[in-house]
Amino acid sequence: MVFRLEKSFGLKFDNDFWSRVPQGEVVEPAPWWSCNRFVRKSSNPKWRYERRVPVVTAGDIHAAVCAMLTEKGMAVPPDSWPRVRGVLADVTGHAVDEITAQSRLFDDLGFA
């Protein structure tokens, strides 16, 4: 995805791009039969397994792109949000109209 964003904005992003995106996560109990890369043994004594899903939204990606552009001394283009939505649509296979600033990459868009 980062390569496509770079291509769309004509800019080489730094290696710390993902560190600019909020790193929160949702933790919830998970059944033992769940085979998901976000499921692991729980540290909570009430749960055997837990699911830890990163909470990153399309709006967070857009904000990180805009911050990078500003730091590089480039103006943020007026169509920056449609460009980010287009890249996310290409990567996830969802329609552009389905992607909002609140769309969560992992839970809503199936980002892998």
Number of neighbours of residue 81 by Cβ within 10 angstroms: 17
Single-letter amino acid, residue 38:
F
pLDDT in tens, 47-83: 888 887 788 899 999 999 999 999 899 999 999 999 9
**Tokens describing residue 9:** 């904005």
pTM of the model: 0.78
pLDDT in tens, 85-111: 999 999 999 999 999 999 988 888 887
Q: Give the list of residues 6+ apart from residue 53 with CB closer than 8 angstroms, or none.
A: 25, 26, 28, 38, 106, 107
The domain ranges of the chain are: 1-21+56-112, 25-55
Q: Which helix (H) or strand (E) holds 4?
A: helix 2-9
- Reference 36, options 54, 23, 21, 11; nearest CA is 54
